[in-house]
Amino acid sequence: MVYISRREAEKLCAGIFFQVGIPQKDAEDSAEILVTADARGIRSHGLARIRRYVDGIKAGFIKGGVEPRTLRETPISLVLDAQGGMGLSLSKHAMERVIAKARAQGCGVCSIRNSNHFGIAGFYAEMAARQDMIGIAMTNTAALGVPTFAREAMFGTNPIAFAVSGLGTDLFSLDMATTTVTRGTIEVAAREGASIPPGWAVGTDGRATGNPVRLLEDMLYKRGGGLLPLGGEEGGHKGYGLAVMVDILCALASGGVFGGDVRDSELTSARVCHFFMALRLDLFRDPEDFKRDLSRMLGELRSLKPAEGAERVYYAGLLEQEAEARCEKEGVPLSEEVWKTLAETARDLGVPVPGPRANPFGR
Amino acid sequence: MVYISRREAEKLCAGIFFQVGIPQKDAEDSAEILVTADARGIRSHGLARIRRYVDGIKAGFIKGGVEPRTLRETPISLVLDAQGGMGLSLSKHAMERVIAKARAQGCGVCSIRNSNHFGIAGFYAEMAARQDMIGIAMTNTAALGVPTFAREAMFGTNPIAFAVSGLGTDLFSLDMATTTVTRGTIEVAAREGASIPPGWAVGTDGRATGNPVRLLEDMLYKRGGGLLPLGGEEGGHKGYGLAVMVDILCALASGGVFGGDVRDSELTSARVCHFFMALRLDLFRDPEDFKRDLSRMLGELRSLKPAEGAERVYYAGLLEQEAEARCEKEGVPLSEEVWKTLAETARDLGVPVPGPRANPFGR
């Protein structure tokens, strides 16, 4: 691993986005979101994706500087056509508007169509959580998941994020795919020559498959098969139901592309759809009382006796929060490979590259 | 099985509730909800529970005729203390108020504390779905589920319901527990002398257990162990996160009892908490466009080629909707055992008992 400061990482990433045509403010916002993923240890959604974004922007699939078109608006709601814009900065801006609506009216919702990958859903939910609100964010994604009893992919990993703050730095922040695992996990098994367990995926006949290499090939060429929804063989109908719910709130609510029609962003504009919501805590209770109870709940969960062989009991977002706090002191850790791609991309575009450290800052 | 008409079933059940002290209108509403569960084939939540309700009412744990106390109210939100009232009728009434708020303002939310079992969550979500709205309903329940890496129960089966209508009778209606299975499934395995597979439950050491008899005993005496959240061994942290989300929206939002403090309703008032939400479809799009797209999506899912060995591809609520349509013609099917308890309970209270049929009506 190499380490660079969060500020340097953001500056580098923003510089790259700016050089390929993203306006300065959007470039900075997008960089903030990507680097946050790395800072939280969610490496699959951070700077490891820089080339995919840059290639998408260069190819014109992700459009810099386009303004989203407002399709419908009320004091509590907003529906946007992103017109193929940058999913990251666009989503941050949309959540700011949702939060402003919630501040004025108690509640704000927004559905967006024709967008592109927005990074980690939890980023947006937490924006609301920092403002004494409950925050929710969802997105549909390219179809990889197979409905229960079917044999072809009809929905994406369709993540759901839900965040609310307790007292001080206490935070509950759920950010979960509605499939059992993501394609990335299957790719790791394929690289390692491992077989995959039942409950992860089905082959072209719709039955459990253990062969990740064949599965990935079948998925790539759309021959059928794909990931099983959360719950796998036993309760997969539940994950399937949640994935459809996400598609309804994101795509049906915005008039966007849904189900098997959501394409992969490496070939064309993703045209994915998002959903955001904020609910002010004081709709329900005095926010301090709400937060005190949340802190009590989180404290109880943290101090549970762990199962035999386990070290600690976590709750959603705790590990990520601890990783982010470490980054403030130690810098953002990046794999050598990600750093190499990032530095090369920057140099090609004439963006100054800082010198990374081989060790965490302050050690 | 025996069959009685839906009308007769409701009248019988309402008569029982009325005789033990539930006001007439509340008795009728509560009966409607219980019988709907049987009509949809969700027998675990229907008339099979009549004795538990009656015993709870007689013992004073479930209070007939109490009015919920309003703790907080805005044009879009409502927080109630149910004061130990009848969870079924109370929840129907609360959802009516949520729908009225959404009709006026676009959105309505309600959290309720100190309530009792409300039956099937989907009933309330579908009330909104019939009014061109998205409906959401949740409840916390007695703690039976063990957080990932822990060894004691800290949350219930905490179901989530989400419903929205398409054109005509098309309906997407998700109603799912956030544990992999419910206690009822473990009880069936125990009765049949079967062992339970990994992913369903953990023992007192927090590790997978295959022994349902011992598990139920350990759960009963609060020795530790319990159900695994949705996702089981592989992705159980996601189901755990969803269960906590439900607890936050139901209990933290209403100032009610949460986590490991939610007790079983057979010993005392359940003091469970609920959450309801309705969002008007026209916040997002012309409702007809929204519903047309939903019908297209549901049609695509229904017509998917099934996996090898499977007969059909379903989506959430389809089987229940088909069962309910059959009941209109054939009557509500009840097991001999449930019928016997129901008829005995009615006779003891002097409620007239109709003669059931041994065959479906119209056959």
**Do A1-59+331-363 and A66-177+231-326 have matching folds?**
no
Give the one of A147, A230, A252 whose C-beta lies nearest to B301's C-beta: A147
Beta-ladder partners of B176: B160
pLDDT at B267: 54
- Across chain B, mean pLDDT equals 95
pLDDT at B184: 85
Mean pLDDT of B83-89: 96
Contact criterion met (CB below 8 Å) for B197 and B327: no
pLDDT at B232: 87
Confidence of residue B96 (pLDDT cuts 50, 70, 90): very high
CA distance A55 to chain B (A): 32
What 8-state DSSP symbol labels residue B261?
G
Instruction: Write the DSSP string, A23-77.
Output: -HHHHHHHHHHHHHHHHTT-GGGTGGGHHHHHHHHHTTSSBTTPPPEEEEEETTE
pLDDT at B361: 87
Mean pLDDT of B152-169: 97
The reply to whether residue B285 touches residue A109, judged by beta carbons under 8 angstroms, is no
Mutate to test the interface with A, among B132, B304, B314, B318 (most CBs of A within 10 A): B304
Which residues, in sequence order, are CB contacts of A34 under 8 Å at separation 6+? A13, A45, A46, A47, A49, A50, A53, A88, A119
CATH pick for A1-59+331-363 out of 3.40.50.620, 1.10.10.10, 1.10.1530.10, 3.90.1200.10: 1.10.1530.10
Give the one of A237, A253, A289 whose C-beta lies nearest to B290's C-beta: A253
Longest dimension (CA), chain A: 55
Topology annotation, domain A66-177+231-326 = Ribosomal Protein S8; Chain: A, domain 1 (3.30.1370)
Rounded to 5 degrees, what are φ and ψ at A279? -130, 125
The reply to whether residue B72 touches residue A294, judged by beta carbons under 8 angstroms, is no
Q: Give buried/exposed letters for B326-349 (b at 16+ CB in 10 A, else e).
A: ebeebbbbbeeebbebbbebbeee
Mean pLDDT of B24-42: 97
Helix H or strand E encompassing B272: strand B272-280
- Per the structure block, which two tokens stand in for A145? 């998941």
Beta-ladder partners of A229: A179
Q: Which residue has the tokens 């409701």?
A: B10
Outline where DSSP puts E strands in chain A.
Answer: 2-4, 69-74, 77-81, 107-115, 133-139, 160-165, 171-176, 201-202, 226-227, 272-280, 332-334
Residue A249: its chain B contacts at CB < 8 A? 134
Residue A176: its chain B contacts at CB < 8 A? 237-238, 241-242
Q: What is the pLDDT along chain A (363 residues), one digit of tens a residue?
A: 999 999 999 999 999 999 999 999 999 999 999 999 999 999 989 999 999 999 999 999 999 999 999 999 999 999 999 999 999 999 999 999 999 999 999 999 999 999 999 999 999 999 999 999 999 999 999 999 999 999 999 999 999 999 999 999 999 999 999 999 988 889 989 999 999 998 899 999 999 999 999 999 999 888 999 999 999 887 899 999 999 999 999 999 999 999 888 876 555 667 899 999 999 999 999 999 999 999 999 999 999 999 999 999 999 999 999 999 999 999 999 999 999 999 999 999 999 999 989 889 887
CA-wise closest residue to A177 among A153, A200, A158, A161: A158
Q: Which residue has the higher pLDDT, A199 or B29?
A: B29
CA-wise closest residue to A244 among A169, A148, A135: A148
The reply to whether residue B205 touches residue A307, judged by beta carbons under 8 angstroms, is yes
Confidence of residue B172 (pLDDT cuts 50, 70, 90): very high
The Cα–Cα gap between B163 and B76 comes to 19
pLDDT at A72: 98
Give the one of B72, B205, B300 whose C-beta lies nearest to A285's C-beta: B72
Residue A151: its chain B contacts at CB < 8 A? 304-308
Give the one of B152, B206, B230 whose C-beta lies nearest to A238's C-beta: B230
The reply to whether residue A235 touches residue B232, judged by beta carbons under 8 angstroms, is yes
The Cα–Cα gap between B139 and B146 comes to 17
CA distances from residue B290 to A42, A233, B30, B253 in whole angstroms, order as listed: 35, 32, 32, 30
CA-wise closest residue to A123 among A256, A321, A322: A321
**Chain CA centroid to CA B332, Å:** 18
Segment B180-217, tens digit of pLDDT: 998 888 998 999 999 999 889 999 999 999 999 999 99
CA distance A171 to chain B (A): 12
Class of domain B66-178+228-329: alpha beta
Q: State whether CATH 3.30.60.50 applies to domain B181-221.
A: yes
Mean pLDDT of B76-86: 97
Give the one of B147, B259, B307 whose C-beta lies nearest to A150's C-beta: B307
CA distance B69 to chain A (A): 14
Mutate to test the interface with B, among A70, A248, A290 (most CBs of B within 10 A): A248
Residue A234: its chain B contacts at CB < 8 A? 180-181, 197, 199-200, 232
Give the one of B249, B258, B305 whose C-beta lies nearest to A297's C-beta: B258
pLDDT at A269: 65
Q: Which of A55-69, B48-62, B267-281 has the lowest mean pLDDT?
A: B267-281
The reply to whether residue A234 touches residue B237, judged by beta carbons under 8 angstroms, is no
The reply to whether residue B176 touches residue A241, judged by beta carbons under 8 angstroms, is yes
Angle at A263 between CA A197 and CA B172, to 5 degrees: 75
Residue B289: its chain A contacts at CB < 8 A? 255
Which residues, in sequence order, are CB contacts of B361 under 8 Å at separation 6+? B3, B5, B329, B330, B331
pLDDT at B225: 95
Q: Which of A263-267, B155-159, B309-313 has the lowest mean pLDDT?
A: A263-267
Alpha carbons within 13 A on the beta-carbon side of B262: 34
Give the one of B177, B249, B255 whose C-beta lies nearest to A285's C-beta: B255
Mutate to test the interface with A, among B196, B245, B290, B314 (most CBs of A within 10 A): B245
- Nearest chain A residue to B208 by CA distance is A307
CA distance A94 to chain B (A): 15
Give the one of A107, A172, A258 whose C-beta lies nearest to B248's C-beta: A172
Alpha carbons within 13 A on the beta-carbon side of B41: 10
The Cα–Cα gap between A85 and A283 comes to 34
Residue B184 Ramachandran class (φ > 0 left, ψ -120 to 50 alpha, else beta): alpha
Residue A242: its chain B contacts at CB < 8 A? 174, 176
The reply to whether residue A241 touches residue B111, judged by beta carbons under 8 angstroms, is no
Mutate to test the interface with B, among A98, A207, A244, A282 (most CBs of B within 10 A): A244
CA distance B322 to chain A (A): 17
**ipTM score of the complex?**
0.97
Angle at A114 between CA B162 and CA A110, to 5 degrees: 45
Rg (CA), chain B: 20
pLDDT at B270: 72
The Cα–Cα gap between A225 and A204 comes to 4
The reply to whether residue A148 touches residue B314, judged by beta carbons under 8 angstroms, is yes
Topology annotation, domain A181-227 = Wheat Germ Agglutinin (Isolectin 2); domain 1 (3.30.60)
pLDDT at A266: 54
Mean pLDDT of B58-87: 96
Q: What is the pTM of this model?
A: 0.97
The reply to whether residue A111 touches residue B284, judged by beta carbons under 8 angstroms, is yes
Is the confidence at residue B93, as pLDDT, over 60?
yes
Contact criterion met (CB below 8 Å) for A155 and B313: no
**In chain A, where are the structural domains located?**
1-59+331-363, 66-177+231-326, 181-227
Contact criterion met (CB below 8 Å) for A146 and A206: yes
The reply to whether residue A237 touches residue B314, judged by beta carbons under 8 angstroms, is yes
Which residues, in sequence order, are CB contacts of B205 under 8 Å at separation 6+? A307, A308, B151, B224, B225
Segment B220-256, tens digit of pLDDT: 888 999 999 999 887 899 999 999 999 999 999 999 9
Pairing, β A107-115 against β A77-81 = parallel
